[in-house]
Amino acid sequence: MRSSAPVDGLVTTTVVLPVLQSRQFINAISHIAGTPDSSDLRTTEQRLADGVTQLCDAYAKGHVTGGRERPTILITIPVNGFTGDSNEPGTTANGDRIPAHIVRRIAENANLQRIMTTGTHILNLGRAVRYFTDDQYKALVARDGGCRWPSCHIPAAWCEIDHLIPDTAGGPTDLNNAALWCCHHHHEKHRPGVKVFGNTHNLRIQLPNGTTIHCPIPQQQPRRTAAAA
């Protein structure tokens, strides 16, 4: 993310993001900016810029607290890619190809729907499934207090829930198999070659270079708990 020097009171800011994060960014800003009506004479670009400033203003006032709801992004992935038996990528509704390990990460807190096909014919359309309940999320906010990665100060309200052992590998959807990570460290945990040892009470992450990261449950995190609340 880079900003130019001011020219006539205006600054040009350029943001370079991976495809998925770009879709999330545009969807979120569009949602914040609202749907224009016939009296709205702004261009799409002006409306999105206003959405960014609205978000920053809300954050400065303490109105942005995070949470579990987010604008919808549709991603389709073959079952082998989802289970980790292959690296077949997912595809967004816009045609973007998303690496399988990234799809598996964001699917942990997504609404999932099974679609069985034969050729171009749909055989079965399963119901949507959400992994962790809101009550479990609240329990994790109280227990973890924020991102479990050492020295990370992202509060719980801005974190995501992770299955330490993936659901597709038989990991249960319970608190002993769950941890909170910020978006960045959740992505790091799901990178190819990363290994998880122990459970949520004795959690260790081994990076591809052999480095082991100990991620204990915080004993006292009053600042994080207050921010999450």
Helices 44-60 and 19-33: crossing angle, nearest 10°?
A: 80
- Taking the model in full, what pTM does it have? 0.58
Alpha carbons 175 and 137: distance in angstroms, whole number:
9
108-145 tens-digit pLDDT: 767 777 776 666 665 666 656 556 777 888 888 888 88
Sequence spans of domains, the chain: 2-60, 75-130, 134-228
pLDDT above 60 for 193:
yes
Query: By the 8 A CB rule, do 137 and 156 touch?
Result: no
Please give the order of strands across the beta sheet that includes 75-76. Answer: 75-76, 90-92, 97-98
State the residue for tokens 């974190």: 159
3-state helix, strand, coil in the chain (%, to 5): 35, 20, 45
